[in-house]
Chain A
């Protein structure tokens, strides 16, 4: 049985949800549909906006400066569109997101005019913009703190000894940071089993009285012995109430604690995904999971029909506007075989960062010979081309459909792993698309 919505957003990562929330807030009847979770859930949960120029070595002083620089150096960068939309500036978008997430488990701290150097579980630092409240600390630059890296016995994802050595070495090399750094392994096993503890298990355990007591006792014991003032934990401070948990532990240990940036499976990624989904609901939008957009119909330059498929059912929608936010290779918006790359829903042409078609370029040719490179692999710059309203363009460079918009990592023109711009581009483009699509609907009425 068909269903009708003003706006159908294909993809439920940060880009799709931001678009959906924006549209729903403007009273458009909005459906966000997703076939799975994507890169958003895998992210560290810290929202990068702009860290480096490709190939650059000095982080931007502020995300705002970074956005301007990226837009300037790469005319095809999604950020370059911002200039033409004065009503939706970076500042407005960032504070909009902070409002949306305020009070949620992934409430964010930070601003468009400060670059935060966040500490990772490897003991490295990376430039980012917004961090979840539980990941926030201002005391990392104090030289007189005693910093404790506290891992959990049986949690293989984080080795506090490596992190503390690495940070200590950087301090010795002259970077500012605590002069006393210690590390420990806490005994805190959710199922009283010695090993193979997953971060999310710990996060759930800490939300029980038993678990919280346990970690507090362990930390108290350790801080007493070492005179710790600041504690770095892997991101495990709960899924639902992490902020309260952080406060509780701080009170009980008399220290400040913060979560490190970490790798998948990611608790902060989970929080972010869930918080955004809750915001969508609150804004009046509908989320439909477990459905994949499999085909579409186009008539007179407009998308008139999207077919959605679940394991055993298929149905059609007839939206007035469509937002494509299917992500990159992880999300599933792009796919590739030995001969080239393709976009998975509309078969839009896939372009590289300079807007050359890579439809027939072998994926390995879009990579560098070394695995990690400051310039990044061109592969991750590939995506679909867009106009200044984020409408995808076809092979001839014309708009594919007047009511189709695209947001997030399905877009071409930016290289998030090295620019440190992943969730930021998803946010900015998602927000703009949501507003445009909603305007398109009201305009079409």
Chain B
């Protein structure tokens, strides 16, 4: 039986960050993820690495967030972008409520190189964003940063791998064995091979977000979390240039952020006790977001909605306060206190803190294992971040459209050169498979070869396949064939893969179905049912968790 120093359960932002730190400090590390890297909570978040503006009542959290932004900019500049954000104010009462927050915010702007909160006249505000309500009285202005959450996780995992860690996706932990009051082995079900495998570990870290209670239960421990569902509505393109943040119908803060080539409107907050895998955005959530934005952007409903997306915040078990008031800090639970030493769980936290969370837990682990050496995750860059990439030059050199390269660069930084190199031998791999984003054949193959995707949905997380306006109408069958070539799938497996990805996309397309999306769905059905006849061909379709319950 293989023995590891550390087994990290969970391949979200937290788990991948932990695996990276552990591996960098020389620990023999295994990461087990039951699905794909970034397949759960982190993949549904906005990717805002925020200064913690909303959490001014927790100054230490604001400090932490702000420092982490600086670190992330340092290690992953190629996947970090700046976004100006307006806070349109419709009446005076809204101004007065921001005082304390502004003060706290301004203390920390310098390290991030952004201005303090600026106040703009109504005219200036509408000049910057003409779609704002004509009767606004002023607006606040800040600058925040965003990171691509999928890429962050994958890069952390890849970097961990480069430092010697083993990354196993589609391996679901099913048992944790305890011997002499300490963790001993971890058993997982390998979904790709259909087998149960057991490995020994000195330390087990549960970075399983909303599933932390379930993992703890495997070790016979009860761990309470407060789970809170958050949903987004996604628009087809950048409909505004700047981000907009406002108070929702119930006074919470909601935002509309241009994000990659789309716009995110979010988020809702609903305490939930459902299985996170079964959750789908509700009509009320969609309406809540649109209605809230109508106050400040009256035309918001005219935009094209391409889908919804939902996730679950794994918050600390703080009750009887609104979601917004629950601490954004994280906690590392040492289950030694529950009689299982060497077992640690995370609760709370945010994307922006993932590196910090990893550092903290790795410090504890190193101490336990008697390993010296200090954390370097904030110093050493993630893969793909080297010198500036000259998109126009490379476009010319490799005969690829410059916009496609600009998008590729946004995902991969300097890694894009390796992908372009692949097209030397196979010039036809410059085919744009997903036209919307766009994603070329070579990038798909590169991702399959180096970033362990098993399904088209995994590919989406690596390369944004099928995330544009047509929501994978036209790339699914093309990408499935490429995957079949790379992974040696049979014809019927390829067909199943197509239906599988259509299902995943349908999950988010269905709740907000309206407008242009109706015609888009007619095409989907025209292609895959009317012509492709796949509803008759694919007979071993297994319903998804969210499909079974309805």
A-to-B contact residues, CB < 8 Å? 39, 42-44, 48, 52, 57, 120, 122-126, 153-154, 156-157, 159, 161-169, 193-196, 261-264, 328-330, 332, 334-338, 362-364, 367, 369-374, 376-377, 379-380, 416-418, 420, 422
What separation, in Å, do the CA atoms of A43 and B531 have in the docked complex? 8
- Give the interface centre of B480, B491, B506 by most chain A CB atoms within 10 Å: B491
Whether A162 lies near B480 (C-beta < 8 A) is yes
Whether A44 lies near B531 (C-beta < 8 A) is yes
B66 interface contact, C-beta 8 A: no
Chain A interface mostly: loop
What separation, in Å, do the CA atoms of A193 and B398 have in the docked complex? 12
What separation, in Å, do the CA atoms of A282 and B512 have in the docked complex? 45
What separation, in Å, do the CA atoms of A243 and B7 have in the docked complex? 65
What separation, in Å, do the CA atoms of A124 and B491 have in the docked complex? 10
Whether B518 lies near A125 (C-beta < 8 A) is no
Residues of B contacting A166 with CB < 8 Å?
491-492, 494-495
Shortest Cβ distance from residue A341 to the other chain B in the assembled complex, whole angstroms: 8
B534 interface contact, C-beta 8 A: yes
Whether B533 lies near A165 (C-beta < 8 A) is no
Whether B532 lies near A370 (C-beta < 8 A) is no
Whether B491 lies near A168 (C-beta < 8 A) is yes
Across the A-B interface, give the 9 residue pairs with the lowest CB-CB distance, nearest first. A166-B491, A194-B427, A159-B481, A165-B491, A126-B533, A417-B529, A371-B506, A417-B525, A329-B519
Whether A336 lies near B530 (C-beta < 8 A) is no
Whether A159 lies near B478 (C-beta < 8 A) is yes
Nearest B residue to A168 via CB reads B491
Whether A329 lies near B532 (C-beta < 8 A) is no
- Give the interface centre of A124, A125, A373, A376 by most chain B CB atoms within 10 Å: A124
Whether A57 lies near B518 (C-beta < 8 A) is no
One of B161-169, B356-364, B428-436 contacting the partner = B428-436
Residues of A contacting B535 with CB < 8 Å?
372-374, 418
Shortest Cβ distance from residue A441 to the other chain B in the assembled complex, whole angstroms: 33
What separation, in Å, do the CA atoms of A48 and B530 have in the docked complex? 9
- Give the interface centre of A43, A166, A362, A420 by most chain B CB atoms within 10 Å: A166
Residues of B contacting A370 with CB < 8 Å?
503, 506, 541, 543, 547
Nearest A residue to B500 via CB reads A371
What separation, in Å, do the CA atoms of A279 and B144 have in the docked complex? 61
Nearest B residue to A52 via CB reads B536
What separation, in Å, do the CA atoms of A328 and B525 have in the docked complex? 13
Contact with A along B455-481 (1 / 0, CB 8 A): 000000000000000000010011011
Interface size class of B (residues with CB under 8 A): 35 or more
What separation, in Å, do the CA atoms of A159 and B399 have in the docked complex? 23
- Give the interface centre of B399, B505, B515 by most chain A CB atoms within 10 Å: B515
Whether A42 lies near B490 (C-beta < 8 A) is no
Residues of B contacting A416 with CB < 8 Å?
530
Whether B531 lies near A120 (C-beta < 8 A) is yes
Whether A195 lies near B531 (C-beta < 8 A) is no
Shortest Cβ distance from residue B182 to the other chain A in the assembled complex, whole angstroms: 45
Residues of B contacting A371 with CB < 8 Å?
499, 502-503, 505-506, 524, 528
- Give the interface centre of B427, B522, B523 by most chain A CB atoms within 10 Å: B522
Whether B515 lies near A337 (C-beta < 8 A) is yes
Whether B480 lies near A336 (C-beta < 8 A) is no
- Give the interface centre of B480, B518, B521, B541 by most chain A CB atoms within 10 Å: B518
B485 interface contact, C-beta 8 A: yes
Residues of A contacting B299 with CB < 8 Å?
none
Partner of A167 from the list B491, B503, B536 (CB cut-off 8 Å) is B491
Partner of B431 from the list A154, A329, A376, A379 (CB cut-off 8 Å) is A154
Shortest Cβ distance from residue B300 to the other chain A in the assembled complex, whole angstroms: 13
17 further contact pairs, Cβ within 8 A, besides A193-B399, A330-B519: A42-B523, A44-B531, A126-B532, A126-B533, A156-B441, A159-B485, A164-B491, A165-B494, A194-B427, A262-B531, A263-B477, A329-B518, A338-B283, A338-B286, A363-B514, A371-B506, A416-B530
Whether B534 lies near A374 (C-beta < 8 A) is no
Partner of A124 from the list B485, B515, B537, B541 (CB cut-off 8 Å) is B537
B100 interface contact, C-beta 8 A: no
Known A195-B427, A329-B518; contact A372-B534, beta-carbon cutoff 8 A: yes
Partner of A154 from the list B428, B480, B522, B541 (CB cut-off 8 Å) is B428
22 A/B residue pairs, CB under 8 Å, sorted by A: A57-B536, A122-B498, A122-B534, A123-B491, A124-B537, A125-B533, A154-B431, A156-B478, A159-B484, A162-B480, A162-B494, A166-B494, A167-B491, A195-B430, A263-B532, A332-B519, A336-B515, A369-B546, A372-B502, A373-B535, A374-B535, A380-B522
Residues of A contacting B441 with CB < 8 Å?
156, 195
What separation, in Å, do the CA atoms of A126 and B492 have in the docked complex? 16
Nearest B residue to A373 via CB reads B535
Shortest Cβ distance from residue B161 to the other chain A in the assembled complex, whole angstroms: 30
B247 interface contact, C-beta 8 A: no
Whether A374 lies near B522 (C-beta < 8 A) is no
Shortest Cβ distance from residue A443 to the other chain B in the assembled complex, whole angstroms: 36
Shortest Cβ distance from residue A414 to the other chain B in the assembled complex, whole angstroms: 12
B-to-A contact residues, CB < 8 Å? 283, 286, 399, 427-433, 441, 474, 477-478, 480-482, 484-485, 490-492, 494-495, 498-499, 502-503, 505-506, 510-515, 518-519, 521-538, 541, 543, 546-547, 550
What separation, in Å, do the CA atoms of A124 and B477 have in the docked complex? 12
What separation, in Å, do the CA atoms of A159 and B482 have in the docked complex? 8
What separation, in Å, do the CA atoms of A44 and B399 have in the docked complex? 32
Shortest Cβ distance from residue A390 to the other chain B in the assembled complex, whole angstroms: 21
Whether A126 lies near B427 (C-beta < 8 A) is no
Whether A161 lies near B481 (C-beta < 8 A) is yes
Residues of A contacting B484 with CB < 8 Å?
159, 161-162, 165
Residues of B contacting A165 with CB < 8 Å?
484, 490-491, 494
Whether B513 lies near A364 (C-beta < 8 A) is yes
What separation, in Å, do the CA atoms of A336 and B429 have in the docked complex? 39
Shortest Cβ distance from residue A32 to the other chain B in the assembled complex, whole angstroms: 21
Nearest A residue to B504 via CB reads A371
What separation, in Å, do the CA atoms of A335 and B514 have in the docked complex? 8
Whether A156 lies near B433 (C-beta < 8 A) is yes
Known A169-B490, A372-B499; contact A124-B513, beta-carbon cutoff 8 A: no
What separation, in Å, do the CA atoms of A46 and B108 have in the docked complex? 65
Nearest A residue to B305 via CB reads A338
Shortest Cβ distance from residue B212 to the other chain A in the assembled complex, whole angstroms: 29
Known A39-B526, A371-B502, A371-B505; contact A196-B537, beta-carbon cutoff 8 A: no
What separation, in Å, do the CA atoms of A384 and B310 have in the docked complex? 36
What separation, in Å, do the CA atoms of A42 and B470 have in the docked complex? 15
Shortest Cβ distance from residue A370 to the other chain B in the assembled complex, whole angstroms: 6
What separation, in Å, do the CA atoms of A37 and B433 have in the docked complex? 25
Residues of A contacting B499 with CB < 8 Å?
371-372
What separation, in Å, do the CA atoms of A169 and B491 have in the docked complex? 7
Nearest B residue to A377 via CB reads B525
Residues of B contacting A420 with CB < 8 Å?
530, 533
Partner of A369 from the list B286, B474, B510 (CB cut-off 8 Å) is B510
What separation, in Å, do the CA atoms of A331 and B432 have in the docked complex? 27
Residues of A contacting B428 with CB < 8 Å?
153-154, 194-195
Whether B430 lies near A329 (C-beta < 8 A) is no
Residues of A contacting B427 with CB < 8 Å?
194-195
Whether A124 lies near B431 (C-beta < 8 A) is no
Shortest Cβ distance from residue B90 to the other chain A in the assembled complex, whole angstroms: 24
What separation, in Å, do the CA atoms of A124 and B343 have in the docked complex? 51
Residues of B contacting A262 with CB < 8 Å?
531
What separation, in Å, do the CA atoms of A369 and B280 have in the docked complex? 11
Partner of B533 from the list A43, A120, A163 (CB cut-off 8 Å) is A120
What separation, in Å, do the CA atoms of A169 and B524 have in the docked complex? 25
Nearest A residue to B505 via CB reads A371
Shortest Cβ distance from residue B440 to the other chain A in the assembled complex, whole angstroms: 8
Whether B531 lies near A337 (C-beta < 8 A) is no
Known A364-B511, A380-B522; contact A263-B531, beta-carbon cutoff 8 A: yes
Whether A418 lies near B529 (C-beta < 8 A) is yes
Known A157-B478, A380-B525; contact A124-B530, beta-carbon cutoff 8 A: no
Known A329-B521, A364-B511; contact A120-B532, beta-carbon cutoff 8 A: yes
Whether B431 lies near A156 (C-beta < 8 A) is yes
Nearest A residue to B543 via CB reads A370
